[in-house]
Every structure is written in structure tokens, then in C-alpha cells.
Chains A and B, each alone.
Chain A
């Protein structure tokens, strides 16, 4: 591999930031007692405690899975503290107090001004005087009857909705990490779109996380009633640190008749240093149930961070004519590992699914696409199209594709395309010969490769994601 490529992929992660959070921390270890403590601290109703205890009992009987194409040292689940009550962050008085390095990162990533303040830990109200953006936002949503709050809040304010849907898409014993999450989750988002309502704006976790931290076992539940639609944005392009190495989130989406849920993620957790030390393990269970007829679940993800990413946002297409979509970009560098993909479970008639996956591996990293397309006997005329493309930067990275296809109905049509390409000296030389330096060239080639996925992101998110990718692969020499 040439020196140019070596430099390009060896950009150190130097733009992260850590916010000090004073908190009450529960003693380490997991037991029924810990779970009762969490539930009591959060003043939860009995049914939720039972939900947690049931999950815990299941978890005790399960073993940590090892079929995924990633390697990591054994996790000691008794060495983790499962409850930490967040206290308000130390707010800075103005943007002038923010680390200039961080501001440069925001500049480079094109993070909107109001988000910069919040992400840097500046009190939003200071910046925006009397009118807080978040407040305006919540008022607008309330006008049309949309509930958007933390899941802890929803447990108290809308217990019937949470109880009706929690654990219906990802059951408590679904898998090892989902069971763990169900037992110990501390917070997350709750979103309910009433019948016939088109959410007037993209819902962004930023507006919620701003007021409350969700911790390492995040739980999200989104429900779109009949004819409702929503576009939900998770994460942000700004780098995120966390002292918790293991993150095991669960996201459940439920779409009723003619409802439409679009869920977009940009993930930039700390990935560890260039020698592979540190970094977040991001083990997530995300699943959408297209329950009603002609409903649609669409996942778009841009995965750039974490030491290990292990997630398969999935769609269960139960309603007739329902649609499932998965658009993914996963970038790995240095020693990062990603095993990601999707599951499309076709149950209803005339169900359709599309999978577009783009994996980019640089440095010594490894990226795997793992996907399941299952056509049940009931799924007359089901259609799937899958396209999995991998791009290698340099000659020490790896890309793998594991497609699983199970067809039990012979009226189904399933197509799978895959390709692997390499950013070669020839492409870089061609662009250099037109005056374009290596950094710009790599950015251009990679963003071209991901175009089909970026097109699916909401506009501003797409612009940020484009810059984030360039940034992840940037030359440290600049």
C-alpha cells in the first residue's frame, strides 16, 4: 500500500469530547436486587418491574452469541454498573468557553449552529435567549397530538401505550443482548404518532438527549397509528465518547395500516485509537413491525464509529402490501469491526423489500454484511432486491458478505447483487492528475460509492454524513 493511502487512513481520533456527569452509581453487578433497585429508583409500575424480571430470568438461561464475525475479549457482566442517575451536565455559559478544537470539528462537519451549542454542553437558552428551540419544537408537536418524550416519562404519562407495545416487536427473550436491555434499560425515546397525522418535522433525538441522558442500555419505542407517518433521526455526526464500553440498545417500531416510519441513524461513537485500544461495543437490536396493510418501515444508517458494531435493523412485513427498506453505509478504519446488515421477514402478501448496503473498510479493519431474507409460505408474490457493495481502502482491510435467503413460497422473486471494489492507485492518480489532492480524491470516491444511501437521508443529515465520511478517512497531515 502506498504512503498516501497509509496516511489517509491513519487519521487519529482527536476531536472527541467528554462531559463530566456527576451521578449516583449503583454497585457493580447484575442480580434481581439490582433490577428491583433500578425499577424503584425510577418509581416504575409493577408490570414494568415484572417485564424486567422476566427478561432477567430469560437472560440467565442464555449464552452470549459468538457467531458474528467480530472478535473481542470476554465481557464480564458482573463488572458493569447498571444504574447511574444522571445529574444535569455542567453547562457552559457561552460558546466562547467551548474548546476551540471542538468548534473546528463542528465547522468541518457542518453541524448546525444551534446543535453545536447543545453538543458542546452550552445551555441552549443562553444562546437563543428567551425562546428555547427545544420548547418550540415540543409545542409544535403537541399541537398535532404527537407524543415525543423519554421512555421513562412515557411510562408515567402514557402507561397504557407503553404497556401495549413494549416488547411486542423485540420480545424480552429475543436474544442475549436484547434480554439484557429489557432487564436493565434506564432510558430512551418514546414516540407516538396518532391516527392520520403526518409528523410536520423530522424528530431528532438531539432535542430529547439535550435534557436527559439515556445511558448505555437505551430503549426506544416508536408507534405510528393508522395512516400516520414520521421521520426519526437518531444520533449525530459529532463524535461521542462514553465511559461505558458496552452499549446494548433496543429499538422497536410499530407501523399500523398505511403508516410509514422512516428511521435514520448516524452513529459516531468513539472507535478506539489507531492501535485498537478502547472504543465502544455497539450491540444493538433494532426491529420494525410493518403490522398493518400497506405500511412501510425504512431504515437508513450511517455507521462510522464504535470499536465493534453489531446490528441488524430488521423489518417484519406482516401486513399485506407492506414495504421494508434498509439503506446502510458502514465505514471501518484502523482496528474497527462491523458486522451489520438486516433481516427482511416477509409474511404478508405482496410484501416488498429493498436492501442497499455499502461497506467501506480502511486500515486493518473488517466489515461484514450479514442479511437474511425470509419469504414465509403465506407471502404470496413477495419481492426482494438486495445489493451489497464493499469498498476496500488499502490492502490490509477486509470485507465479507453473508447473505441468507430462505424462500418458502414459489411465487416470490428474490434478487441479490454483490460487488467488491478497491480505491486503487489508478483512481487516485487520475484525480491527482486533475489537480485534486489525495484527501479530496478519497472523499469524492467514497461519497460517490455511498450516493444511493445518502440520497435516502434527510437533506441536512445527508450533508453532515458526507462530511463525516470524508472526516473519518481524512489525512492527519491535512
Chain B
């Protein structure tokens, strides 16, 4: 576990969130500093993806308690598009299809919107074409991909690469990857991991949400958190993921019982 005194990017305090009056998140605490990679692991239904969506501002989820500070500002005050413009990026577990809209058109609109909000230069279609093709090389994507409709008819691997390409274009301060490894074969996983590692630097941070250790072989986290029933029940270094892989999630409960037993 690194001891890092870099600036805090994200501070989540006692976060509770509900969807349709059902509480999913029941008091999450998490601090993420720049330069860090955090992995959040846990079984299905533990609230990992909900946490990602709440951070990104999905309108179906309501925060009922607690706070989220992002770069010393109240993230909950911002709408989803404002969060994206401010540098919060979510790579979707299930990227959405938009029929009839060329990927190039979508990518350029997203890029230019965010650039404009950040007071940076926008690119015309020709300039953007050069720019995006350069980024696509990183993810070993074929050029015809720009002309296809957004995510329509994409394989699982292509969808996930498209997500990371968007991350490369939008240069987030906080990248949240929601099960980016699911549905990827090992080659695609390596390409995606290489892309993410390339995009990670000392001034940004990444939260990886995953079931499995295998992604963490390629993107090495500084912290591993285990989620269960809407809470983070254990935090450790990268070795925690390996222990989970070996012993399964039940091991944590037993481990906690042992710890509880020892203290009495």
C-alpha cells in the first residue's frame, strides 16, 4: 500500500443512495488521491455498479445521505453532463447503442463539448479525424470503426475498446471503469489494460470495478476494496485481491469472525 500525500480528487463520506425507494448504498466511505488506482471488488448485487452510476450522476438514483466531494467541490450539485465536463468519466459495463449516429460524429461532439467547457481548443472534422486516429492506434482499432454507428453491432471487445477510446479523448481526472474486463478475451483484455495504463498518470485517478483478479494482473491497483450489501467491508493492498481469488468472498467473513474472536 502506497503512502500518498497527493491532492485528494474524490472524497466519499457515508454515502447512502436508493433507487425506487430501495436503498442500495448504505454508507460508503472512500478517499481517492491523484495518481492512485483503486479496485472495488465484490459479488453481484453488492452495489459496485450502483456506486459507479451514483458517482457519474445517473438520474434514477437518489442520494439520501452523505456527501461526495470532487476536487473540493460538491459533486452532487452537478448534473451528469457537468460532471463529465469536470472530468468524471464512467466506462460503461454495457455501452449503449445509438443507431444511425456515426461513431466519429459522436466522438467529436463529446470531445468538442468537453473541450469548450474546459476553455480548450475545439477541432474541426478533419483535425479531429487525425487526432482520433492517433488515439485509436493505442487500442489497436480499425479505421472503419469511425464510420459505424455508435456501439451498434459491436462485439463485446469493440464496445469496451470504444469506452477506453472515449476516456483517451476526454482525459478525465477520475476514470471509473465498471467491469470493463467482463466479456473480454485475454488478448482484448491486454489491449484495454495497456490503454488504461497509458492513460493513467500522477494527476489523475482510476477506480476499477471488477469481480475478478485477472484484470488486476494487468492494471495493478494501489488499493483493493471489498464491497458487500452497499458498504465497503474491507480495504487492503493489491494482495487482498489475490487472497480473494484464492479463498473466495466467504473467506472475508471467516477472517472477520476470526478477528472478532481474537479480540474478545
**Which residues of A are in contact with B by a Cβ distance under 8 Å?**
2, 4, 425-427, 429-438, 440, 444-445, 447-452
In the complex, what's the smallest C-beta–C-beta distance from A477 to chain B, in angstroms? 12
Contact A449 B99 (CB under 8 A): yes
B100 at the interface (CB under 8 A from A): yes
Residues of chain A within 8 A (CB-CB) of B109 are: 436, 440, 444
Q: Are B81 and A432 in contact (CB under 8 A)?
A: yes
> Hey, which chain A residues are within 8 Å of B233, CB to CB?
none
A-B contact count (CB 8 A): 78
B114 interfacial by beta-carbon distance below 8 Å? yes
19 further A-B contacts with Cβ under 8 Å, apart from A429-B80, A438-B81, are A425-B59, A426-B96, A427-B96, A430-B92, A430-B96, A432-B57, A433-B57, A433-B89, A435-B110, A435-B114, A436-B81, A436-B113, A440-B109, A440-B113, A444-B98, A445-B98, A447-B100, A448-B98, A451-B101
User: Does B67 reach chain A (CB closer than 8 Å)?
Assistant: no
Known contacts A444-B106, A444-B109, A448-B149; A429/B98 CB under 8 A:
no
Contact yes or no, A434 B59, CB < 8 A: no
CB closest chain-B residue, reference A389:
B99
> B100 to A437, Cβ gap below 8 A?
no
* B194 on interface, CB distance cutoff 8 Å: no
Contacts of B177 in A (CB 8 A): none
Chain B residues within an 8 Å CB radius of A429: 56, 58-59, 80
Q: For residue A438, which residues in chain B have a CB less than 8 angstroms away from its CB?
A: 81
* B50 CB within 8 Å of chain A: no
Q: Scan residues 63-92 of chain B and give those whose CB is less than 8 A from a CB of chain A.
A: 79-81, 83-85, 89-90, 92
Asked whether A430 and B95 contact (CB < 8 A) given A425-B59, A436-B81, A444-B101, the answer is: yes
Determine the distance from Cα of A440 to Cα of B58 in the docked complex, in whole angstroms.
Answer: 18
Q: Which one, B59, B90, B95, B149, contacts A4 given CB within 8 A?
A: B59
For A435, A436, A449, which residue has the most chain B Cβ atoms within 10 angstroms?
A435
A-B contacts, 13 of them at CB < 8 A, read A426-B96, A429-B58, A429-B59, A432-B57, A432-B79, A432-B80, A434-B113, A435-B85, A437-B113, A447-B100, A447-B101, A448-B101, A450-B100
Tell me whether B60 and A425 are in contact (CB under 8 A).
Answer: yes
Query: A429 — nearest CB in chain B belongs to which residue?
Result: B58
Determine the residue in chain A with the shortest Cβ distance to B114.
Answer: A435
> Would you call B166 an interface residue if the criterion is a C-beta within 8 Å of the partner chain's C-beta atoms?
yes
User: Which size class do B's interface residues fall under?
Assistant: 20 to 34
B59 contacts across to A, CB distance below 8 A: 2, 4, 425, 429
- The interface residues of chain B lying within 8 Å CB-to-CB of A437 are 81, 113
Most buried by B among A431, A440, A449: A431
Q: Are A451 and B100 in contact (CB under 8 A)?
A: yes
Tell me if B208 is interfacial: C-beta within 8 Å of chain A: no
In the docked arrangement, what's the CA distance between A426 and B96, Å?
7
| Contact, CB under 8 Å: B98 / A435 | no
Find chain A residues with CB under 8 A from B90 CB.
Answer: 433
Q: Which residue of chain B has the shortest Cβ distance to A441 in the bound complex?
A: B81
- In the complex, which residue of chain B has the Cβ closest to the Cβ of A454? B100
Q: Quick check: is B133 within 8 A (CB to CB) of the other chain?
A: no
Task: Report the separation of the CA atoms of residues A434 and B149 in the bound assembly, to the nearest whole angstrom.
Answer: 16
Q: Is the CB of B84 within 8 A of A432?
A: yes
Which residues from chain B contact A451 at a C-beta distance below 8 Å? 100-101
Please, how many angstroms separate the alpha-carbon atoms of A225 and B80 in the complex? 58
Q: Is B170 in contact with chain A by the CB < 8 A criterion? A: yes
Chain A nearest CB from B166 CB (Å) reads: 6
A448 touches B99 (CB 8 A): yes
B117 within 8 A of A: yes
A105 to chain B, nearest CB (A): 23
Please provide the chain B residues from 102 to 159 with a CB less than 8 Å away from any CB of chain A in the complex: 105-106, 109-110, 113-114, 117, 149-150
Name the A residues within 8 Å of B81 (CB-CB): 432-433, 435-438
User: Given the complex of chains A and B, what is the CA–CA distance between A439 and B98 in angstroms?
Assistant: 15
Taken together as a complex, chains A and B put the C-alpha atoms of A66 and B114 apart, in Å, by 52
Name the residue of chain A whose CB is nearest to the CB of B88. Answer: A433
CB distance from B75 to the nearest CB of A (A): 14
Task: Tell whether, in the assembled complex, residue A435 and residue B95 are in contact, meaning their CB atoms are under 8 Å apart.
Answer: no
Contacting residues, chain B, for A447 (C-beta < 8 A): 100-101
* Centre residue among A432, A438, A445 by max chain B CB count within 10 A: A432
Across the two chains, which residue of chain B brings its CB closest to A3?
A: B59
- CB of B84 within 8 A of CB of A435, answer yes
Bound Cα distance from A426 to B105, whole angstroms: 19
Q: Residues of B contacting A450 with CB < 8 Å?
A: 100
Question: In whole Å, how far is B221's beta carbon from the nearest beta carbon of chain A?
Answer: 23
Docked Cα-Cα span, A431 to B81, in Å, equals: 8
Q: With a CB–CB cut-off of 8 A, which chain B residues contact A431? A: 98, 106, 110
Instruction: Answer whether A427 and B98 are a contact pair too, CB < 8 Å, given A433-B90, A444-B106, A444-B109.
Output: yes
Known A-B contacts A426-B96, A429-B59; the reply to A434 vs B84 at CB < 8 A is yes
| Chain B residues positioned under 8 Å from A445 (CB to CB) | 98, 101
Question: Shortest beta-carbon distance, B256 to chain A, in Å?
Answer: 35
- Tell me which of B84, B100, B150 contacts A433 (CB under 8 A): B84
Among B80, B84, B85: residue with most chain A CB under 10 A: B80
Nearest B residue (CB) for A450: B100
How far apart are A141's CB and chain B's nearest CB, in angstroms?
A: 36
A322–B58 alpha-carbon span in the complex (Å): 52
Q: Which residues of A contact B114 (CB under 8 A)?
A: 434-435
Q: Closest Cβ of chain A: how far from B205's Cβ, in Å?
A: 17
Q: Chain B contacts of A449 at CB under 8 A?
A: 99-100
Contact status B84-A448, CB under 8 Å: no
> Across the interface, which residues of B come within 8 angstroms of A452, CB to CB?
100
On chain B, the residues within 8 Å of A432 by CB distance are 57, 79-81, 84
The closest CB in chain A to the CB of B92 belongs to: A430
Q: Which residues of A contact B166 (CB under 8 A)?
A: 434
Q: Which residues of A contact B150 (CB under 8 A)?
A: 448
- Inter-chain CA distance A117–B135, complex, in Å, is 46
CB distance from A450 to the nearest CB of B (A): 7
Among B57, B100, B110, which residue has its beta carbon within 8 angstroms of that of A436?
Answer: B110
CA distance A4 to B114 in the complex (A): 20
Chain A residues whose C-beta falls within 8 Å of the C-beta of B106 in the assembled complex? 431, 434, 444
Partner of A435 from the list B60, B92, B105, B170 (CB cut-off 8 Å) is: B170
> Which residue of A has the minimal Cβ distance to B53?
A429
Which residues of chain A are within 8 angstroms of B117 by Cβ–Cβ distance?
Answer: 435
Q: Shortest Cβ distance from B177 into chain A, in angstroms?
A: 13
| Contact B110 A434, beta carbon cutoff 8 Å | yes
How many angstroms between the C-alpha atoms of A168 and B150 in the bound complex?
A: 47
Q: Which residues of A contact B85 (CB under 8 A)?
A: 435
Set of chain A residues within 8 Å of B60, measured between Cβ atoms: 425
The residues of A that contact B58 with a CB separation of less than 8 Å are 425, 429
A434–B98 contact, CB under 8 A? no
Contacts of B95 in A (CB 8 A): 430
- CB B219 to nearest CB in A, in angstroms, measures 21
